[in-house]
Amino acid sequence: MTTSHSLSAHHFGVLVEPLLPRLVAHARRLTREASAADDLVQETLCRAWRYRHRFITGTNIGAWLHRILFNSFISGYRKRRRERRLLEEVTFERMLEQKNRTPRPGERGLSDETLLALEEIPTQFREAVVAVDLEGLSYREAAARAGCPLGTTMSRLHRGRRLLRTALDDFARREGYIGRAA
């Protein structure tokens, strides 16, 4: 029967050192960035050291370290995603406070650039885009809300989308949503 006992610093180093190149390669595949991979490997080794008493002598230390590395990566990813969501929410709320208004349905989750571009297009086009694209209304429902014919709503929607596309073109290219013109 294998038992779990704490590895000495020397024994830990002897077991881990030959595995470092594979840990670094795995971390680089996950993070796609050298400095982030180095940070992930360091975090992995710190956790492995902290929990070395849980390692069962005679089992595969490489698999154990790779599991710690992967779990650390996932935990970090989830933390960054929560932080991004919180930051977007705070930024969105501040923008609304500056404009002294409450959010329209569907506006949460839009980038600051998109919200600003939406605010800059004429009201009748913005209302059509918000109603159909953000709130999910049908063309008929959007036309009834605006109190205008269906064709007018469709025309406003088309023109609003075109204005947004033009306003967001540079942002979309810079962020890689669309490719550079050949």
DSSP tag of 178 = S
**24-35 pLDDT, tens per residue?**
999 999 988 899
Q: At a CB cut-off of 8 Å and minimum separation 6, what does 102 contact?
A: 96
Mapped onto helix, strand or coil, the DSSP state of residue 5 is coil
**50-70 pLDDT, tens per residue?**
998 888 888 999 999 999 999
Looking at CATH, the fold of the domain delimited by 9-81 is given as Rna Polymerase Sigma Factor; Chain: A (1.10.1740)
Each domain of the chain, given as residue ranges in start order, spans 9-81, 103-174
**105-148 pLDDT, tens per residue?**
455 567 778 888 888 899 999 999 888 888 888 999 999 999 99
pTM tops 0.85, yes or no: no
28, 73 contact by CB (below 8 A)? no
Q: What proportions of the chain, in percent to the nearest 5, are helix, strand and coil?
A: 75, 0, 25
The pair phi, psi for residue 151, each rounded to 5°, is -60, -35
Which pLDDT belongs to residue 78? 82
d(CA 67, CA 77) in angstroms, rounded, equals 15
Matching CATH number, 103-174, of 1.20.120.1780, 1.10.10.10, 1.20.210.10, 3.30.750.200: 1.10.10.10
Phi-psi region of 42 (alpha: psi -120 to 50; beta: other; left: phi over 0): alpha
Q: Tokens for 165?
A: 């596309």
